[in-house]
Amino acid sequence: MPVTVPPAATLPTRSTSVLVPLMTALALSACVPVPQGAAFAPAGASTLQPVTGAQAWWRGFSDPQLDALMQRGLTQNLSLREAQERITEAGAGIRTTAGLNLGLDASASRAGVVDAAFTDSRAAVLSGTWLIDLFGQNRASRAASVALRDQAVLASDAARLAVAGEIAAAYIDLRYTQEVVAFIRRSVDSRRQSRGSIGEQFDAGAATRLDVLRADQRLAVAEAQLPALEVQADRAIFRLATLTAQSPDALRPLLNRGGAVPHARFSAVRGISADTIRLRPDVQAQERLLTARAAQVGVAQAALWPSLTLTGRVTAPGTGSTTWGFGPSINLPFLSGGQNRANLTAAQSRARQAWFAWQQSVLEAVEEVQGALAAWRRDGRNVGAQQRLVGISSETLDLARSSYDLGETDFLSILDAEVELLQARQALAAAERDRALNFVRLSVATAGPVAAR
């Protein structure tokens, strides 16, 4: 039966049920000659598989333009390409831990003396060195290298997830800003019409100078909001250009047409599986780092003991005869014992640091899920309330205009109603933006690796 994390209101802030096996193994690291990586991995790590259902969570927005940005960003983002190179580097580290080193040398020379014939000399030398893994140093070193390679892969997955979240957030901010700009421009047009009407009435003696100034004031306030919002929209485009590794000019034809804040087709779940949190790539990366640090403890422990190396050499000279040599050598680390013990203490400390870092990553993951779920549950109520407010404000403006035409109220009522309607529309757009951003946060907090498409 899968373990289910309780809802945000009752989710425990510190759960150690999956941490105990790891803590026990780490405590025994000083007693075990060669710690194995699996012994230091949290329980169940070898059987869990990455989450696949949430890999393309942004498709919940049903927004083709966002899909296109994701397609570009997850394949061309420079930080992600750098992360891929780190995987290559870490993979190369595995090959350097092999116990056998082979070498092949070839030489040729020609020599002679005055009034004598020249002689040619050619030789090929094949040499090999094999480290006998008496105390598991080489095995532990390879285990550490494999774990570090795995960590690089998972760190790349975490980076993809983060970049996808940033692209979605920047796109949502852009659409929110464009929507607010559209509201304000419509409000500016409406206020200009109102200003024209009150100006005509003032000329006819049916309005006061104060009415004219108030209309001018409301118009100026609306116009003053536009420049800052336009700069904000430009910054969102610049951010998207950076995340997708292209120029802003290439994005403008796609994004300048504007659009509404995207709405995700998603129903909040009541709880999040504990395995889902464990399968976050950043948490898994910390697990693999802990495995590597534990294996490095084994490397440091093995360095306290003698090491045996077998060396062989075969020489094939050009004369046709072959010579060879083979023999062992032993290294007794008595003179460097103090340094080796210090290295062991440092390795054990690094393993404990990795253990604490893994615990912290789990707690932070739980916190992120708690916050995202709580916000998502609240967002639906907030959007509904703001929609009702927009409807009431729109009806109020219509009634104010009708009452003014009938002479039942003054012009200030129209100006106030216009301001309130604009504020209500802006608040609704902000609520929709928050709902979309919280969907992104929840998806990033619970999703598995994001595959480049």
Q: How does pLDDT run across 52-108, given as a tens digit for each residue?
A: 444 688 988 989 999 999 999 999 999 899 888 888 888 887 776 654 444 445 454
Locus of tokens 């659009």: 259
Domains and their CATH numbers in the chain: 4-95+137-295+342-446 (1.20.1600.10)
Locus of tokens 């000083």: 30
Average pLDDT over residues 102-118: 47
Average pLDDT over residues 15-22: 36
Torsion angle in degrees (nearest 10) through CA of 277, 282, 288, 294: -90
Locus of tokens 């509404």: 260
DSSP 136: S
> Considering only CA atoms, which of 15, 9, 60, 6 is closest in space to residue 374?
9
> Considering only CA atoms, which of 173, 154, 151 is closest in space to residue 162?
154
How many angstroms separate the CA atoms of 255 and 171, rounded? 9
More confident residue, 334 or 75: 75
How many angstroms separate the CA atoms of 183 and 179, rounded? 6
Find the farthest-apart pair of alpha carbons in the chain and give their distance in angstroms, rounded: 132
How many angstroms separate the CA atoms of 164 and 453, rounded? 12
Torsion angle in degrees (nearest 10) through CA of 204, 207, 212, 213: 140
Whether 351 and 297 have beta carbons less than 8 Å apart is answered as yes
Residue 94's pLDDT is: 73
How many angstroms separate the CA atoms of 118 and 288, rounded? 63
How many angstroms separate the CA atoms of 161 and 155, rounded? 10
430 pLDDT higher than 90: yes
> Considering only CA atoms, which of 347, 345, 306 is closest in space to residue 328?
306
Locus of tokens 């697990």: 287
Show the beta-strand stretches assigned E in 30-186: 100-111, 119-132
Whether 218 and 191 have beta carbons less than 8 Å apart is answered as yes
CB-hemisphere CA count at 13 Å for 154? 23
How many angstroms separate the CA atoms of 404 and 196, rounded? 15
409 pLDDT higher than 70: yes
Residue 277's pLDDT is: 80
Q: Look at residue 138 and give its three-state secondary structure.
A: helix
Under the banding of pLDDT at 50, 70 and 90, the label for residue 22 is very low
pTM value > 0.85: no
Tokens coding 363: 């707690």
Q: What average pLDDT is seen over the chain? A: 76
Q: How far separated are the first and last CA of the chain, in Å rounded?
A: 33
The answer for residues whose C-beta is within 8 angstroms of residue 418's C-beta and 6 or more apart is: 187, 190, 191, 194, 218, 397
Provide the phi-psi class of 446: left if phi over 0, else alpha when psi is between -120 and 50, else beta: alpha
Q: In Å, how far are 53, 145, 291, 294 from 89, measured between CA atoms?
A: 30, 11, 18, 21
CB-hemisphere CA count at 13 Å for 216? 7
Long-range contacts of 401-408 (CB under 8 A, 24+ apart): none
Average pLDDT over residues 294-312: 71
Residue 24's pLDDT is: 39
132 pLDDT higher than 70: no
Kindly tell me the sign of the dihedral angle through the C-alpha atoms of 189, 190, 194, 197.
Answer: positive
Give me the amino acid identity at 321. S
Under the banding of pLDDT at 50, 70 and 90, the label for residue 30 is very low
Q: How does pLDDT run across 205-252, given as a tens digit for each residue?
A: 888 899 899 899 989 999 999 999 999 999 999 999 999 999 999 999
Residue 379's pLDDT is: 85
How many angstroms separate the CA atoms of 60 and 126, rounded? 62
Under the banding of pLDDT at 50, 70 and 90, the label for residue 298 is confident
Residue 266's pLDDT is: 66
Q: Which of 119-133, 211-225, 368-382, 388-402 has the lowest mean pLDDT?
A: 119-133
Whether 25 and 43 have beta carbons less than 8 Å apart is answered as no
